[in-house]
Structure 1
């Protein structure tokens, strides 16, 4: 009977919360998502329900667009009038970064790269 080789355990970094729950209660994202940050009078009414419905539709359209862009050539327009073509791969869950392949920069072609979404003004692709 032979023993299997040991498998390394990857430990995630400790969160900023002293209880190590992985989120910072003073972060803008936590404050925005916290249900106690919404006054009870503002969270009711037909106007809020309509706004939530519209936001939901827009979010769904955006996510479907990201799915349609996968493995397609995309033209990214960035600051300083820089235009870079690449093959779109994926986005992280918060839509903060785009993973692209074959990114053609003014300095050369990068096989794989991450684009910081705040540097991207717009992007376009063929349907």
Structure 2
């Protein structure tokens, strides 16, 4: 499978709510760089830390956080850039904005993820400390 197909499979599983299947695209050592100044920001050094972050986000949003591709996936060697749109609500706050996710794929698995927000201050306000 090409890098783009691996990433597309990850997003397909997310869209169907199949978190376990989505996470099967990662290795136990996958790293995730979450930007910002909020309680979910920072480098996640392995799959367990990524799962903890996902679970925290789902708890914070009562399970309604959605991230979906919002344009053409671009591939350069083992890197795949995906324009994304993400939405979520919690209490009286809502988030509805774009960004970019960058994936590094090696030997059929996602080994590193970097996420970018169109407006990091919105993310930080939404997720808090």
- State the TM-score, normalizing by the size of structure 1: 0.30
The structure with the greater share of residues assigned to strand is 2
- State the TM-score, normalizing by the size of structure 2: 0.30
